[in-house]
Amino acid sequence: MFNQRTKIKALLQTTPIDAKVTVMGWVRTFRNNQFIALNDGSTNLNLQIVVPLGMLGEDILKRITTGASLKIAGTIAKSVGKGQTIELLAENVEILGDCDAEKYPLQPKKHSLEFLREIAHLRFRTNTFGTVFRIRHALAFAIHQFFNERGFIYLHTPIITASDAEGAGEMFRVTTLPFDGTPRNEDGSVNFKEDFFGKSTNLTVSGQLEGELGAMAFSEIYTFGPTFRAENSNTTRHLAEFWMIEPEMAFCDLEDNMNLAEEFIQYIIQYVMKNNADDLAFLDQRLAEEEKQKPANERSEMGLIEKLNFVVNNRFERITYTEAIQILLDSPAYKKKKFKYEVSWGIDMQSEHERYLVEKHFKKPVIVTNYPADIKAFYMRLNDGCEPGKQTVAAMDILAPGIGEIVGGSQREERLEKLLQRMENMHIPVEEMNWYLDTRRFGTVPHAGFGLGFERMVQFVTGMTNIRDVIPFARTPKNCNF
RNA sequence: UCCCGAAUAGCUCAGCUGGUUAGAGCAUCUGACUGUUAAUCAGAGGGUCACUGGUUCAAGUCCAGUUUCGGGAGCCA
């Protein structure tokens, strides 16, 4: 019985005047006892339903409230009023689900994002979040399409891992051991032999190491899955559970890696611009109104769509870490002592430094390459021929305006001896990593890859400033609702 | 985790140097009206001023602690 319904997006696209259709959706507003703004989530636009005066009894009219779900049959007509091209002249209105107006928290008015975060189970029904999550979907789809078109294999790397050498922060423990009467060894430490996997296990912080194993057979793979970090981070760009895309390519160097990352980002933005124009238009306007509230000197120079167009049509700036440090040292900000943190070759650049490069100096996405080896992970390839004391690795970070680091990647160290040396220096347990090292023992090849934070990408494309507003149900320290 | 700020009606907020009965807009309810666009007009109901303790004749207001939220920083994607 429900198959007969027509989606509102399709109606607004095809405008089939005089067609008899049935629509189903939720009431956004009911004006004048006569006009229902109906939304079914297929688009951010509503379909106006016209209920002829006197057609419905008082008892039914009272039940058409904001949030109620309806099934309406009628005829599509050119709209008499302004504000929409077509409307549905109702012939039959059925209430599928009532919505108590006194208890329903969503009103036909502007709500704060903070309030909507507290009712995340209902916020999909708002214009803003409907739009954000349609774009999130479009980005996810575009990502799969991009890699599929290029012959990458989608590899499902494990979520539970026994490796603690991934080196990307605190991990969530996975265990079935009881809290009371935990089995102990003679020295008092926990006896993980009794645990489900017979060893200590955690949720993954990265699929990269397993991804590399796939690339050593398929040439190109990518992962796209959830990732977990038990960091006590309370910021607008961190989550305890987030999604990450990690391509890994054999026969690939840092240059190829950068080219792919840039093409990739431009491709998925273009996909959304083409397929979610209504959604982007809504967000563009939303952001423009928000900007108006700000003092003139804090307003961003570009609108959302303007910014996306710019990113799609311009090459990213590419500089080495050494050049980046020099730009910072030569900057007016440095000379006026505006930076809180020191700048010198060897530092791990702080947010203020990255923001200066991206937002003030270049005003576009910037790829920084060849970082000092001391501040980067063990698996990154050591560059040959460095100055003494200035050893660098073939790493690259893409920094985006307003977001910061959106991509982190590198060419991997494929030379067994150098990798072993590096692991020893960094106290990585070599014995436990033999499965990883085997790729270097048996037919090793130059390879590279990167990780893209999916939520940060959604933030960039939607202009949402808080990462908790671009994931359906955010997991952050002290918050695991819904 | 650190720094700063906030918490008053369902929502968004006002409430001054402490002083009668804590206000507004929107939402809700009742009624009117009907081609509306977050409809409009009239009226009504709605509050443990986050929590705990303290100062004071008197605390929404001052102080301390706790909780939660927001912004920034660190860690990072």
Going by C-alpha positions, the residue among A157, A315, A313 that lies closest to residue A226 is A157
> What is the Rg, in whole angstroms, of the alpha carbon atoms belonging to chain A?
27
Judge if A8-108 and A125-170+205-469 fold alike in CATH terms.
no
Q: For strand B, give the nucleotides within 7 A of a protein CB.
A: 1-2, 10-13, 26-30, 33-39, 68-77
Q: What is the mean pLDDT of residues A101-110?
A: 87
Phi, psi of A115 (to 5 degrees): -65, -45
Architecture of domain A8-108: Beta Barrel (2.40)
Report the 10 Å Cβ neighbour count for A198.
10
Q: What is the mean pLDDT of residues A392-403?
A: 92
CA distances in angstroms from A360 to A13, A300, A322, listed in the order given: 42, 11, 18
Give ∠ CA A184-A189-A192 in degrees, rounded to 5. Answer: 65
Q: What is the mean pLDDT of residues A110-129?
A: 92
Residue A118 (CA) to nucleotide B65 (C1'), in angstroms, measures: 26
Banded model confidence at residue A276, pLDDT cuts 50, 70, 90: very high
This model of the complex carries an ipTM of 0.88
DSSP, residue by residue, A357-411? IIIIII-S-EEEEEEEGGGS-TTBPBPSSPPTT--EEEEEEEEETTTEEEEEEEE
Q: What is the pLDDT of residue A113?
A: 94
Q: What is the mean pLDDT of residues A43-48?
A: 94
Task: Spell out the domain ranges in chain A.
Answer: 8-108, 125-170+205-469
Phi, psi of A373 (to 5 degrees): -60, -35
Q: What is the pLDDT of residue A295?
A: 66
Nearest nt (C1') to A450 (CA)? B77
CA distances in angstroms from A373 to A299, A343, A425, listed in the order given: 37, 17, 12
Q: What is the mean pLDDT of residues A399-424?
A: 92
Contacts of A388 (CB under 8 A, 6+ apart): none
- Report how far Cα A231 is from the mean position of its chain's Cα atoms: 18
Residue A124 (CA) to nucleotide B70 (C1'), in angstroms, measures: 22
Contact A23, A114 (CB under 8 A): no
CA distances in angstroms from A34 to A49, A53, A82, listed in the order given: 8, 7, 15
Tens digit of each residue's pLDDT (9 = 90 or more) over A284-321: 999 888 877 776 666 777 889 999 999 999 999 999 99
Banded model confidence at residue A53, pLDDT cuts 50, 70, 90: confident
Tens digit of each residue's pLDDT (9 = 90 or more) over A174-232: 999 998 888 999 998 899 999 999 999 999 999 999 999 999 999 999 999 999 999 88
Contacts of A118 (CB under 8 A, 6+ apart): none
Report chain A's mean pLDDT, rounded to a whole number: 92
Residue A267 (CA) to nucleotide B32 (C1'), in angstroms, measures: 56
Nearest nt (C1') to A110 (CA)? B38
DSSP, residue by residue, A113-164? HHHHHHTTTTGGGSHHHHHHHHHHHHHHHHHHHHHHHTT-EE----SEE---
CATH of A125-170+205-469, one of 2.40.70.10, 3.60.21.10, 3.30.930.10, 3.40.50.300: 3.30.930.10
Residue A117 (CA) to nucleotide B68 (C1'), in angstroms, measures: 13
Residue A115 (CA) to nucleotide B56 (C1'), in angstroms, measures: 37
Q: What is the pLDDT of residue A1?
A: 62
Banded model confidence at residue A48, pLDDT cuts 50, 70, 90: very high
Q: Residue A448 corresponds to which tokens in the numbers above?
A: 């590279």
**CA distance linking residue A482 with residue A478, whole number of Å:** 13
Q: Inform me whether the pLDDT recorded for A34 exceeds 80.
A: yes
**CA distance linking residue A363 with residue A355, whole number of Å:** 10
- pTM of the predicted model as reported, rounded to 2 decimal places: 0.93
Tens digit of each residue's pLDDT (9 = 90 or more) over A399-408: 988 888 899 9
Q: What is the pLDDT of residue A260?
A: 97
Report the 10 Å Cβ neighbour count for A219.
17
Q: What is the mean pLDDT of residues A410-436?
A: 92
Contact A368, A397 (CB under 8 A): yes
